[in-house]
Protein backbone atom coordinates (compact mmCIF):
# COMPACT_ATOMS: atom_id res chain seq x y z
CA UNK A 1 0.00 0.00 0.00
CA UNK A 2 1.20 3.49 -0.80
CA UNK A 3 -0.01 6.67 0.78
CA UNK A 4 0.64 10.25 -0.29
CA UNK A 5 1.56 12.68 2.43
CA UNK A 6 1.88 16.40 1.90
CA UNK A 7 4.91 18.06 3.39
CA UNK A 8 5.48 21.61 4.53
CA UNK A 9 6.81 22.73 1.18
CA UNK A 10 3.68 21.53 -0.52
CA UNK A 11 5.35 18.72 -2.40
CA UNK A 12 3.63 15.40 -2.60
CA UNK A 13 5.88 12.58 -1.51
CA UNK A 14 5.03 8.94 -1.72
CA UNK A 15 5.58 7.21 1.58
CA UNK A 16 5.82 3.46 1.50
CA UNK A 17 3.45 2.05 4.06
CA UNK A 18 3.06 -1.64 4.65
CA UNK A 19 0.24 -3.33 6.51
CA UNK A 20 0.78 -6.55 8.39
CA UNK A 21 -2.20 -8.57 9.59
CA UNK A 22 -1.79 -11.24 12.25
CA UNK A 23 -4.72 -13.48 13.09
CA UNK A 24 -5.43 -15.80 15.99
CA UNK A 25 -3.91 -13.41 18.50
CA UNK A 26 -4.51 -14.41 22.10
CA UNK A 27 -3.29 -13.07 25.43
CA UNK A 28 -2.77 -9.62 24.01
CA UNK A 29 -4.10 -6.23 25.01
CA UNK A 30 -2.35 -3.23 23.53
CA UNK A 31 -3.02 -0.95 26.47
CA UNK A 32 -1.43 -3.49 28.79
CA UNK A 33 1.50 -4.05 26.46
CA UNK A 34 2.28 -0.39 25.89
CA UNK A 35 1.41 1.05 29.29
CA UNK A 36 2.83 -1.52 31.69
CA UNK A 37 6.10 0.40 31.90
CA UNK A 38 8.29 -1.70 29.62
CA UNK A 39 8.44 0.81 26.75
CA UNK A 40 8.20 4.58 26.46
CA UNK A 41 7.67 5.42 22.82
CA UNK A 42 4.08 4.27 22.24
CA UNK A 43 1.09 6.57 22.63
CA UNK A 44 -2.63 6.14 22.14
CA UNK A 45 -4.09 8.21 19.31
CA UNK A 46 -7.53 9.81 19.40
CA UNK A 47 -9.07 6.90 17.52
CA UNK A 48 -7.67 4.35 19.97
CA UNK A 49 -4.85 3.03 17.81
CA UNK A 50 -1.30 3.18 19.12
CA UNK A 51 1.47 5.05 17.36
CA UNK A 52 4.97 4.10 18.35
CA UNK A 53 8.54 3.44 17.39
CA UNK A 54 10.77 0.43 17.70
CA UNK A 55 14.34 1.25 16.84
CA UNK A 56 14.27 2.88 13.42
CA UNK A 57 10.80 1.59 12.58
CA UNK A 58 7.48 3.28 13.23
CA UNK A 59 4.11 1.61 13.49
CA UNK A 60 0.43 2.21 14.07
CA UNK A 61 -1.01 -0.77 15.91
CA UNK A 62 -4.59 -1.80 16.52
CA UNK A 63 -6.31 -4.91 17.80
CA UNK A 64 -9.87 -5.62 16.74
CA UNK A 65 -12.72 -5.98 19.22
CA UNK A 66 -12.59 -9.71 19.42
CA UNK A 67 -8.89 -9.29 20.15
CA UNK A 68 -7.90 -11.90 17.68
CA UNK A 69 -6.57 -9.80 14.79
CA UNK A 70 -3.59 -7.52 15.12
CA UNK A 71 -3.22 -4.85 12.45
CA UNK A 72 0.10 -3.09 12.00
CA UNK A 73 0.65 -0.17 9.64
CA UNK A 74 4.41 0.08 9.51
CA UNK A 75 7.09 2.27 7.96
CA UNK A 76 9.57 -0.57 7.68
CA UNK A 77 10.59 -3.88 9.12
CA UNK A 78 9.45 -7.13 7.60
CA UNK A 79 6.74 -9.40 8.88
CA UNK A 80 9.20 -11.44 10.92
CA UNK A 81 10.54 -8.31 12.60
CA UNK A 82 7.12 -7.36 13.93
CA UNK A 83 6.12 -10.92 14.76
CA UNK A 84 9.25 -11.05 16.82
CA UNK A 85 8.83 -7.58 18.32
CA UNK A 86 5.33 -8.35 19.61
CA UNK A 87 6.50 -11.76 20.77
CA UNK A 88 3.69 -13.50 18.91
CA UNK A 89 5.39 -16.87 19.15
CA UNK A 90 5.17 -17.07 22.91
CA UNK A 91 2.26 -18.75 24.70
CA UNK A 92 1.48 -16.52 27.66
CA UNK A 93 -1.41 -18.71 28.78
CA UNK A 94 1.04 -21.49 29.48
CA UNK A 95 3.33 -19.15 31.38
CA UNK A 96 0.45 -17.80 33.47
CA UNK A 97 -0.78 -21.31 34.20
CA UNK A 98 2.65 -22.21 35.49
CA UNK A 99 2.85 -19.16 37.73
CA UNK A 100 -0.61 -19.78 39.18
CA UNK A 101 0.11 -23.46 39.74
CA UNK A 102 3.14 -22.50 41.79
CA UNK A 103 1.34 -19.76 43.69
CA UNK A 104 -2.47 -19.37 43.90
CA UNK A 105 -1.93 -15.77 44.96
CA UNK A 106 -0.95 -15.07 41.35
CA UNK A 107 -4.40 -15.96 39.99
CA UNK A 108 -5.99 -12.58 40.54
CA UNK A 109 -2.92 -10.70 39.34
CA UNK A 110 -2.70 -12.78 36.15
CA UNK A 111 -6.37 -12.26 35.39
CA UNK A 112 -6.15 -8.54 36.01
CA UNK A 113 -3.07 -8.31 33.85
CA UNK A 114 -4.58 -10.13 30.89
CA UNK A 115 -2.84 -9.13 27.71
CA UNK A 116 0.57 -8.18 29.03
CA UNK A 117 3.39 -9.24 26.75
CA UNK A 118 7.10 -8.64 26.95
CA UNK A 119 8.13 -6.87 23.77
CA UNK A 120 11.41 -7.86 22.19
CA UNK A 121 13.01 -4.46 22.28
CA UNK A 122 16.39 -3.39 21.01
CA UNK A 123 19.07 -3.80 23.65
CA UNK A 124 20.76 -0.42 23.22
CA UNK A 125 17.46 1.44 23.23
CA UNK A 126 16.43 -0.40 26.37
CA UNK A 127 19.77 0.33 28.02
CA UNK A 128 19.53 4.07 27.47
CA UNK A 129 15.80 4.24 28.20
CA UNK A 130 16.10 2.61 31.60
CA UNK A 131 19.13 4.65 32.55
CA UNK A 132 16.82 7.62 32.04
CA UNK A 133 14.10 5.93 34.09
CA UNK A 134 16.00 6.07 37.37
CA UNK A 135 14.42 8.28 40.02
CA UNK A 136 12.09 9.61 37.34
CA UNK A 137 8.41 9.38 36.48
CA UNK A 138 6.97 7.86 33.33
CA UNK A 139 5.62 11.03 31.67
CA UNK A 140 8.99 12.73 32.06
CA UNK A 141 10.90 9.60 31.01
CA UNK A 142 8.91 9.68 27.79
CA UNK A 143 9.63 13.37 27.29
CA UNK A 144 13.35 12.79 27.78
CA UNK A 145 13.45 9.92 25.28
CA UNK A 146 11.46 11.85 22.68
CA UNK A 147 13.83 14.80 23.14
CA UNK A 148 16.77 12.47 22.56
CA UNK A 149 15.19 11.01 19.42
CA UNK A 150 14.07 14.40 18.15
CA UNK A 151 17.60 15.73 18.39
CA UNK A 152 19.75 12.73 17.53
CA UNK A 153 17.47 10.37 15.63
CA UNK A 154 18.46 10.23 11.97
CA UNK A 155 15.34 9.02 10.21
CA UNK A 156 11.70 9.96 10.56
CA UNK A 157 8.43 8.24 9.77
CA UNK A 158 4.91 9.32 10.62
CA UNK A 159 6.26 12.14 12.70
CA UNK A 160 8.46 9.94 14.86
CA UNK A 161 12.23 10.01 14.81
CA UNK A 162 14.28 6.84 15.06
CA UNK A 163 16.04 6.08 18.32
CA UNK A 164 19.57 7.51 18.21
CA UNK A 165 22.37 5.18 17.18
CA UNK A 166 25.07 4.48 19.78
CA UNK A 167 27.71 6.11 17.55
CA UNK A 168 25.79 9.37 17.62
CA UNK A 169 25.22 9.44 21.36
CA UNK A 170 28.80 8.40 22.02
CA UNK A 171 29.95 11.44 20.08
CA UNK A 172 27.98 13.91 22.19
CA UNK A 173 28.99 15.41 25.52
CA UNK A 174 27.14 15.52 28.80
CA UNK A 175 27.09 19.32 28.48
CA UNK A 176 25.34 19.02 25.14
CA UNK A 177 22.86 16.48 26.45
CA UNK A 178 22.20 18.80 29.38
CA UNK A 179 20.19 20.99 27.03
CA UNK A 180 17.63 18.20 26.88
CA UNK A 181 16.96 18.46 30.62
CA UNK A 182 18.17 14.94 31.32
CA UNK A 183 19.69 16.04 34.60
CA UNK A 184 22.56 14.08 36.07
CA UNK A 185 21.74 11.21 33.70
CA UNK A 186 23.40 13.03 30.81
CA UNK A 187 26.83 11.78 31.80
CA UNK A 188 25.54 8.23 32.26
CA UNK A 189 24.12 8.24 28.73
CA UNK A 190 27.29 9.39 26.99
CA UNK A 191 29.41 6.92 28.92
CA UNK A 192 26.92 4.11 28.29
CA UNK A 193 26.95 4.73 24.54
CA UNK A 194 30.75 4.74 24.53
CA UNK A 195 30.94 1.59 26.58
CA UNK A 196 28.37 -0.10 24.37
CA UNK A 197 30.59 0.55 21.36
CA UNK A 198 33.45 -1.09 23.23
CA UNK A 199 31.77 -4.18 24.65
CA UNK A 200 28.79 -4.65 22.34
CA UNK A 201 25.86 -6.91 23.03
CA UNK A 202 26.48 -8.66 26.36
CA UNK A 203 27.09 -12.37 26.19
CA UNK A 204 26.75 -12.41 29.95
CA UNK A 205 23.64 -10.53 31.15
CA UNK A 206 25.25 -10.01 34.55
CA UNK A 207 27.64 -7.50 33.00
CA UNK A 208 24.97 -4.86 32.34
CA UNK A 209 25.33 -3.71 35.94
CA UNK A 210 28.90 -2.71 35.08
CA UNK A 211 27.56 0.32 33.24
CA UNK A 212 28.00 3.48 35.29
CA UNK A 213 24.50 4.58 36.24
CA UNK A 214 23.03 1.08 36.05
CA UNK A 215 22.24 -0.36 39.45
CA UNK A 216 20.42 -3.58 40.34
CA UNK A 217 16.90 -2.42 39.54
CA UNK A 218 17.69 -0.84 36.17
CA UNK A 219 19.90 -3.80 35.30
CA UNK A 220 17.01 -6.16 35.85
CA UNK A 221 14.75 -4.04 33.65
CA UNK A 222 17.35 -4.09 30.89
CA UNK A 223 17.77 -7.84 31.26
CA UNK A 224 14.04 -8.48 31.22
CA UNK A 225 13.06 -6.05 28.44
CA UNK A 226 16.24 -5.79 26.41
CA UNK A 227 17.89 -9.18 26.80
CA UNK A 228 14.81 -11.29 27.26
CA UNK A 229 15.85 -12.78 30.58
CA UNK A 230 12.41 -13.80 31.82
CA UNK A 231 13.85 -14.61 35.21
CA UNK A 232 15.03 -11.03 35.88
CA UNK A 233 12.96 -9.58 38.72
CA UNK A 234 13.16 -5.77 38.96
CA UNK A 235 12.46 -4.44 42.44
CA UNK A 236 11.50 -0.80 42.65
CA UNK A 237 9.68 1.12 45.38
CA UNK A 238 6.37 -0.44 44.34
CA UNK A 239 7.68 -4.00 44.37
CA UNK A 240 9.12 -3.45 47.84
CA UNK A 241 5.67 -2.59 49.12
CA UNK A 242 4.09 -5.45 47.21
CA UNK A 243 6.57 -8.06 48.42
CA UNK A 244 6.19 -6.72 51.92
CA UNK A 245 2.42 -7.01 51.82
CA UNK A 246 2.14 -10.32 49.98
CA UNK A 247 5.01 -12.28 51.40
CA UNK A 248 5.96 -10.46 54.58
CA UNK A 249 9.38 -9.14 53.61
CA UNK A 250 10.91 -6.13 55.28
CA UNK A 251 11.01 -3.41 52.65
CA UNK A 252 14.73 -3.10 53.18
CA UNK A 253 15.32 -6.79 52.49
CA UNK A 254 15.78 -6.55 48.73
CA UNK A 255 18.27 -9.39 48.75
CA UNK A 256 15.71 -11.66 50.39
CA UNK A 257 13.12 -10.69 47.80
CA UNK A 258 15.49 -11.47 44.92
CA UNK A 259 16.28 -14.91 46.35
CA UNK A 260 12.60 -15.60 46.93
CA UNK A 261 11.70 -14.63 43.37
CA UNK A 262 14.44 -16.88 42.03
CA UNK A 263 13.28 -19.92 43.98
CA UNK A 264 9.53 -19.24 43.98
CA UNK A 265 8.89 -17.95 40.44
CA UNK A 266 11.94 -19.39 38.74
CA UNK A 267 12.49 -18.85 35.06
CA UNK A 268 9.37 -16.67 34.70
CA UNK A 269 9.98 -14.38 37.66
CA UNK A 270 10.05 -11.34 35.42
CA UNK A 271 6.60 -12.14 34.04
CA UNK A 272 5.29 -12.60 37.56
CA UNK A 273 6.76 -9.25 38.47
CA UNK A 274 4.93 -7.59 35.59
CA UNK A 275 1.58 -9.00 36.67
CA UNK A 276 2.14 -8.05 40.30
CA UNK A 277 3.39 -4.59 39.41
CA UNK A 278 0.39 -3.94 37.21
CA UNK A 279 -2.10 -5.41 39.66
CA UNK A 280 -1.06 -3.33 42.61
CA UNK A 281 -0.71 -0.12 40.64
CA UNK A 282 -3.90 -0.29 38.61
CA UNK A 283 -6.37 -2.60 40.31
CA UNK A 284 -5.87 -2.32 44.03
Using CA atoms, how far residue 283 sits from 11, 112, 175, 275, 277, in Å, is 49, 7, 42, 11, 10
Whole-number minimum distance, CB 112 to DNA, in Å? 15
How far apart, in Å, do the first and last CA atoms of the chain sit? 44
Q: Tell me if 283 contacts DNA by CB under 7 A.
A: no
What are the residues whose beta carbons fall under 8 Å from the beta carbon of 73, sequence distance 6 or more?
A: 17, 18, 19, 59, 60, 61
Among residues 139, 136, 172, 178, which one has the least CA distance to residue 153? 172
Segment 221-250, which members bind DNA (CB under 7 A)?
221, 234-239
Which of 13, 21, 94, 138 binds DNA (CB under 7 A)? It is 138
Give the separation between CA 281 and CA 261, rounded to whole angstroms: 19
Which of 30, 33, 38, 257 binds DNA (CB under 7 A)? It is 38
Task: Point out which span in 66-74, 81-89, 105-113, 213-221 binds DNA (CB under 7 A).
Answer: 213-221
Q: Tell me if 258 contacts DNA by CB under 7 A.
A: no
| Cβ closest to DNA, residue 113 vs residue 166 | 113
Whole-number minimum distance, CB 24 to DNA, in Å? 27
Q: Tell me if 215 contacts DNA by CB under 7 A.
A: yes
Q: Tell me if 272 contacts DNA by CB under 7 A.
A: no
Which of 213, 244, 260, 280 binds DNA (CB under 7 A)? It is 213
Q: Tell me if 137 contacts DNA by CB under 7 A.
A: yes
Whole-number minimum distance, CB 184 to DNA, in Å? 4
Give the separation between CA 38 and CA 197, rounded to whole angstroms: 24
| Cβ closest to DNA, residue 74 vs residue 242 | 242
Task: Point out which span in 9-17, 67-75, 164-172, 209-217 binds DNA (CB under 7 A).
Answer: 209-217
| Cβ closest to DNA, residue 103 vs residue 187 | 187
Using CA atoms, how far residue 186 sits from 40, 178, 210, 212, in Å, is 18, 6, 17, 12
Q: Is the dihedral of CA 257, 259, 260, 265 positive or negative?
A: positive
| Cβ closest to DNA, residue 16 vs residue 250 | 250
Whole-number minimum distance, CB 51 to DNA, in Å? 20
Which of 89, 139, 159, 248 binds DNA (CB under 7 A)? It is 139
Give the separation between CA 93 and CA 88, rounded to whole angstroms: 12
Q: Tell me if 256 contacts DNA by CB under 7 A.
A: no
- Please give the residue ranges that form the binding site for DNA (CB under 7 A): 36-38, 133-140, 178, 181-184, 211-219, 221, 234-239, 252, 255, 273-274, 277
Amino acid sequence: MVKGLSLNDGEKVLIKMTVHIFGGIRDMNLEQVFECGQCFRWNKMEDGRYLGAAGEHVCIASLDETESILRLEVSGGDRDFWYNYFDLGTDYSAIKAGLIAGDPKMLEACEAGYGIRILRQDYFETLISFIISQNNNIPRIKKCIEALAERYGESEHMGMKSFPRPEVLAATTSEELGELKLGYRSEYIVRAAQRYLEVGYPEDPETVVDYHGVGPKVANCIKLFGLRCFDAFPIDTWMKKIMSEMYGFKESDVKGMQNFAEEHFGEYGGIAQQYLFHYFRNVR
